[in-house]
Structure 1
Amino acid sequence: MRKYFLIIVVIIAFFNGSYAQELNSINEPVFKTGEQLTYTLKYGFFTAAEAVINVEESDKKFDGHPVFHIVADGRTAGTFDIFYKVRNRYESYVDQSTLMPYFYTENRHEANYKHTDNVTFNHENDKITAAKGVFPYKGKVFDFLSAYYFSRSIDVSKIQKGEKFELQYFLEDGVHTLGITYVGVEKVNCSMGSFNCLKFNPTIIPGRVFRKDSKLYLWITDDKNRIPVKAHVELVVGSVTMDLTGAKNLKYPLNPLKK
């Protein structure tokens, strides 16, 4: 169950849609150093977990290039913290110009389970080195955090309703592909207010956690920030909802709709 819990939290909190025709390049990053986003995840009416994502300054350079240091902390809350305590930290160093990852690390404490991994992306020979080996790849491959920030900076102004695309990411033992469908524009309410959003439907695999007909939806602000404000996924029993509860030091103003 611990691995499934991790996947649910990470997919909901850190994945955004990316436009397939634009994966070769990005526009100017839509975020800046100092940005902080805070989320809560609810199981039904109960707060199950909290996540905080920070973009920090870094003195490190990779291949001579300056990087953003992105840090995400996730933890269980309330009653869930008593019966299944989670303390997870994910870090990624991404190129300030291309937003491609150089180095990713995770430190997961989930109940009695502990896992650490250090992942190096070598863009010259297209190989990923991690705890479980060396993995060749083709095209653009991300960790969870770099995928989130890269995709936020892509121009999706010409995306069409029903369009499908894919995003490659590395997870523990190999390179995987996430399929995503653009659903359309929708007004969404969250703790920060009401926003016009772009709605996406990432593909999920049914099994012990997800039903055969389970759906995962993500709502991203239809503005220059491209911030996920809400997500909802159906489980075998119940559902989980992500809600944006805080946003600081944004590059562009976050303007909720007037009531």
Structure 2
Amino acid sequence: MRRSIFSICALVFFQLGFSQSYQLTEDMPFKAGEFLEMKASIGFIKAAEVSFNVSNIIYSVNDHPTWKIDINAKTSGMFDLFSPVRDNWGTYYDTTKLIPQRFYRYIREGRFRKNEILYFDHDKDSVLVTKLHKETKKLEKREEYAIPHNVQDMVTGYYYLRSIDFDKLNVGDIITVNTFFDEKEQPFRVKFTGREVIKTKFGKVKSVVLVPIIEKDSLFEEDNTLKVWLSDDLNKIPLKFQAKIYVGYLRVELKKAKNLKHPMAVVQ
């Protein structure tokens, strides 16, 4: 399987989407207009930038109000010279049911291209996957698949995670994850391992710590080498994640946060 720097980042972030009904916080963790920017590095080498953007506009999709959420990634420095990446993952996220109504991704990684749009029909528990031409983006193929009820896509899963009330979980709890990706249901698991105070650009911030549990493969040298820190406040924004990969340690850290709905849990 082809793995770019952003593909690795996506593997970590998007395995965190929940399809089960856990207790949610009473207030939404984000609002329209929220913008987050993270920078990835391998060792001391800057590798990529990833932004998370919630649109200012509420869109109607399938007669449901939705946030349009885009995650954009691009390589930087030497990585941009040898294998440039310009990826866009996006979704229309139902503001009331917290499920995806439409998902899309436009992938440009070196010479590799992949464009697709997924149309969800949660009433029928099905999704229509449309494949688009790698350059013109004209429709080439469409297929329909059965999906679990209220399944998440690879973007909404992360935003649903932020709505979870971690005060209702116990340290060590493992939560099963159901997402639909690459034409199939992809269940994952994530463990809530506790809380830490970590140093960030914004000061010392309280965080909840999660460890995605994935099978060992050629990318990850050991099992359970991924670690994710989310702010331990009502925002639950990503502060940092770290992964031990075959070329060293991949670190991704939050560098910019705008239009947060709630105060960040900075330790005074």
Q: Common fold, TM-score beyond 0.5?
A: yes
Q: Any residues of structure 2 matched to 1:85-234 within 5 Å, and which?
A: 85-131=84-130, 133-213=143-223, 215-234=225-244
Q: Give the match for residue 64 of structure 1.
A: 63
Q: TM-score, normalised by structure 2?
A: 0.89
Q: Which amino acid aligns with 2:11?
A: I
Segments of structure 2 that go 5 or more residues without pairing to the other structure are 131-141
Structure-2 separation of matches of 1:61 and 1:213: 42
Deviation at 1:237? 2.7
Contact (CA 8 Å) 2:32, 2:57: kept in 1 or not?
no
State the shift of 1:195 in Å.
1.0
Q: Provide structure 1 residue ranges, at least 5 long, that are not aligned to the other structure.
A: none
When the two chains are superposed, the root-mean-square deviation of aligned CA atoms in Å is 2.0
2:9 corresponds in structure 1 to 9
CA 187–254 in structure 1, closer or farther in 2 if over 3 Å, else same: same
SS in 1 for 2:215: coil
Cα distance change of structure 1 residues 237 and 198 upon mapping to structure 2, 3 Å threshold: same
CA contact (8 A) 1:161 1:184 kept: yes
Which range is displaced more, 89-98 or 104-113? 89-98
Residue pair 2:59, 2:67 contacting (<8 A) in 1 also: no
1:69–1:92 contact (8 Å) kept in structure 2: yes
Match of 2:262 in 1: 252
Could you tell which deviates more after superposition, 143-152 or 210-219? 210-219
Task: Name the aligned partner's letter for residue 7 of structure 2.
Answer: I
Residue by residue over 1:209-252, the C-alpha shift from the partner in whole angstroms, topping out at 9 and shown as x without a partner, is 11233510111111111111010111123111110001000101
- Cα deviation, 1:150-207, whole Å, max 9, x if unaligned, reads 1111222121011111111121221101111111111112223221111111012222
- Asked whether the equivalents of residues 13 and 39 of structure 1 are also in contact (C-alpha less than 8 Å), the reply is no
Q: What are the residue-to-residue correspondences of 1:40-59 with 2, within 5 Å?
A: 40-58=39-57
Deviates more, 1:172-181 or 1:184-193: 184-193
Structure 1 residue 111: Cα displacement = 0.3
Deviation of 1:42 (Å): 1.0
Once the two structures are overlaid, the 10-residue window that deviates more, 129-138 or 174-183, is 129-138
- Aligned residue in 1 for 2:22: 22
Aligned equivalents of 1:91, 1:144: Cα separation in 2: 9
User: Do 2:18 and 2:152's aligned partners in 1 also have CA atoms closer than 8 Å?
Assistant: no
Alpha-carbon distance between aligned partners in 2 of 1:189 and 1:17, rounded to the nearest angstrom = 26
- The secondary structure found in structure 2 opposite 1:144 is coil
Contact 1:12–1:242 (Cα < 8 Å) also in 2: no
In structure 2, what residue type is equivalent to 1:10?
A
Q: Identity of paired residues, percent?
A: 27
Q: Give distance in 1, aligned partners of 2:83 and 2:190.
A: 30
1-side partners of 2:102 and 2:20: how far apart? 24
Which residue type is aligned with residue 112 of structure 1? R
Kept in 2, the 8 Å contact 1:214–1:235? The answer is no
Q: Which deviates more from structure 2 when the two are superposed, residues 107-116 or residues 139-148?
A: 139-148
Q: 1:254 to 1:59 in 2, by over 3 A?
A: closer
1:84 deviates by 0.9
Report the 3-state secondary structure (helix = DSSP H, G, I; strand = E; otherwise coil) of the residue aligned with 1:28.
coil
Structure 2 vs 1, CA of residues 150 and 8 (structure 1 numbering), >3 Å: closer, same or farther?
Answer: same
Query: Per the alignment, do residues 26 and 120 of structure 1 end up closer, same or farther by CA in structure 2, a change over 3 Å counting?
Result: farther
The 3 A distance-change label for structure 1 pair 251 and 101 is same
Task: State the distance in 2 between where 1:238 and 1:66 align.
Answer: 43
Could you tell which deviates more after superposition, 206-215 or 123-132? 206-215
Distance apart, 1:13 and its partner CA: 4.2
Offset of residue 17 of structure 1: 6.7
